[in-house]
Amino acid sequence: MVFRHLVTSLLALVLFSVLTGILYPLTVTGLAQLIFPDKANGSLIRRNGKVLGSELIGQPFSDAKYFWGRPSSTSPYPYNAASSSASNTGPLNPSLLDETGGRVRELMKADSLNTRPIPVDLVTSSGSGLDPDISIASALYQLPRIARVRMLPPEAVRSVIDRNTEGRFLGILGEPRVNVLKMNLDLDEMQPHSEGK
């Protein structure tokens, strides 16, 4: 009797291991590749056959001719997809004030002519530290600097923002946003420049 229960248990283990460990993952992977292959493969952005990044993970840009993304708190370097994390500093934590104050000074130094209020997402990191998007307000705040540095008319930079604006999910969830990497790639197509981020 015990032997029969043992055999039944082992057969159930093998059956469910094959079902949930092999057949189910293969089925889900196959369906994802058929239905939405771009998303299933990481939403990669390619130009001339070369992978430049993902729509889902931010990249650090610090050159004044580029849009800058939301700050990242991942370690040991910004936008480390293997170490997604937030800073976990609360609103009363003095280090949060120091960090945001430093970011405000950096933005003001990069564009001392800009007297507009700095949008909050340009000085605070996201919960994941990987956010690839910024608000429309953050993109518009940076527009004068980029137009001046690249010697482009502001309308041309505004068209880059408009082309890359994504609306609310299902028309009601979240806020309109723009993908930083996509905008910067569009800017690079507009005018030749030297390499660097």
Q: According to the model, what pLDDT value does residue 55 have?
A: 86
Residue 136 has pLDDT above 60, yes or no: yes
Q: According to the model, what pLDDT value does residue 120 have?
A: 92
For residue range 82-135, what is the model confidence (pLDDT) as tens digits? 877 777 777 777 888 888 888 999 999 989 989 999 999 999 887 787 889 999
Q: According to the model, what pLDDT value does residue 14 have?
A: 93
Q: According to the model, what pLDDT value does residue 191 have?
A: 62
Closest CA to 113 of 92, 91, 142: 142
**38 or 139: which leads in pLDDT:** 139
Three-class secondary structure of residue 170 per DSSP = coil
Q: According to the model, what pLDDT value does residue 81 have?
A: 79
Query: Cα separations (Å) of 137 from 21, 121, 123, 141?
Result: 46, 9, 13, 6
Question: Cα separation of 149 and 187, whole Å?
Answer: 12
**159 or 36: which leads in pLDDT:** 159
pTM of the model: 0.77
Instruction: Report the chain's mean pLDDT, rounded to a whole number.
Output: 87
For residue range 13-32, what is the model confidence (pLDDT) as tens digits? 999 999 999 999 999 988 88
For residue range 156-187, what is the model confidence (pLDDT) as tens digits? 999 999 999 998 888 888 899 999 999 999 99
